[in-house]
Amino acid sequence: MRGWILALATIAGSVPVAAQGISLPVAPGFWTNDTEKCATVHHGYVFDGKRWGALYYYGPGGSMGPAAELEPITQTRVVADGFTQMQFGGYDGAGYLRIKPLGADRALYRVGAPFQDDIQETDETLIRCSLASLSPKMKAAMKRFAPAVVR
């Protein structure tokens, strides 16, 4: 009986996250640093409507790979200064990943990581690359790891 109660409590506890849906203030697609050229980029971030993470080629000149580190976003919430914070796997610890739109196909990506007695923040200005602007190699990686975006 106790097992059923725990199972029902777990299911009930997960309903608000599932019912909330995932809402980021940026469009799905491939995002990279604004210092990169979409046609030659070999690293960036992917938002496919449900997951966020890195997609990249590694090694000398991006000659190896691709590799992807995409995680399901389980919750989002608006925080200070116009950012939306992403939560993964129900974990909401000291560190954080946040994104804020800066106009059409531009965003500010902020990572906060615990460091000694403080949070160290790093910001990256990102641009969204259209699928057509990516190299054939990066298009293939998108098709493999983020097919929902490629359709």
Q: What contacts 42, CB < 8 A, 6 or more positions away?
A: 56, 57, 61, 62, 65, 137, 138
pLDDT value of residue 127: 98
3-state secondary structure (DSSP) of residue 146: coil
pLDDT of residue 13: 42
CA distances for 26 relative to 49, 66, 105, angstroms: 10, 24, 8
Give the Cβ contact number of residue 84 at 10 Å: 18
Q: Residue 69 contacts by C-beta under 8 Å, 6 or more apart in sequence?
A: 53, 54, 55
Taking 70 as the pLDDT cut, the residues of the chain under it are: 1-21, 90-92
pLDDT of res. 14: 41
- Give the domain ranges of the chain: 21-150
pLDDT at 59: 93
**pLDDT for the residue numbered 22:** 80
What local confidence, expressed as pLDDT, does residue 92 receive? 65
Q: Using one digit for the tens of pLDDT, what is the confidence trace for 106-128?
A: 999 999 988 888 888 899 999 99
For domain 21-150, which CATH number applies: 3.30.70, 2.40.128, 3.90.1420, 3.40.50? Answer: 2.40.128
